[in-house]
Amino acid sequence: MSARLFEEADHAECYQKSRPDWPQEIIQTCLSFLREKRTGPFELAVDVACGSGQSTRPLAPHFAKVIGTDISEEQLGAAKRVSNPPNVEYSYHIIYPYWEGEDSMNQELEKLVREVFMNILVPHFNDRIHLALNNLTDIRIPYAENIRNEALEFRQESSVESYMGYLKSLSGYRAYRQKNPNLPDPLDTVQELLTVSGSKTRYQDPKLYMRSPVVVLLGRKLESKNVK
């Protein structure tokens, strides 16, 4: 069963502001796989389930044209409202599969965030969240040529405000709040702890350093011998 959890206008705006663009290290990993059989130049990349463009824009330097497609018109609208390279465009299209994760500041905060995420939010995600939690081990690439790369990490320096925005952009959080509007916000405690942790340092705006594992799955159909 699919759940359309990213389509409200305010969620799309939160997603756009809080989710960072994907780093070139990850883009280069995909390009290296492509260059094993193709020397370029590369004409077209299609980013399926592009959301508000965080993985679409970084493709622009490497392709003549990049098209981001998504089922959510609100997400596409958010993508179009920010600055995009001239060779990037967005299109409404009903195709999508994908997923993501979390991180923290110190042991106490890490424990709290994990508890909130696993015990409160996870039951409210799309039922395919287990794919991300299992590092995509349940996904099989149906092509003879394929690779699985688990050596990459997503690293980002963030502020308390940005990190809270990221947590609030999670679809599981949005679904939880919609189903439980009269219950306390589970992220209030996280924000309080972050604020207290920051006030105990000499910095007024403490920095958070987030690290998330990235799993890249790439597959390629075998080509007929007459294709060059």
pLDDT for res 126? 85
Q: Which helix (H) or strand (E) holds 66?
A: strand 65-70
How many CB atoms are located within 10 Å of the residue 95 CB? 10
* Complete domains list, the chain, with CATH: 1-98 (3.40.50.150), 99-220 (3.40.50.150)
Between strands 207-220 and 145-159, the pairing is: antiparallel
Tokens matching residue 76:
């596409």
Instruction: Identify which of 213, 221, 217, 224 has the alpha carbon closest to the alpha carbon of residue 101.
Output: 213
Using alpha carbons, list the distances in angstroms from residue 104 to 38, 84, 115, 186. 40, 30, 12, 15
Residue range 15-63, pLDDT digits in tens:
677 777 888 999 999 999 989 888 878 888 888 888 888 889 999 999 9
Phi, psi of 96 (to 5 degrees): -170, 140
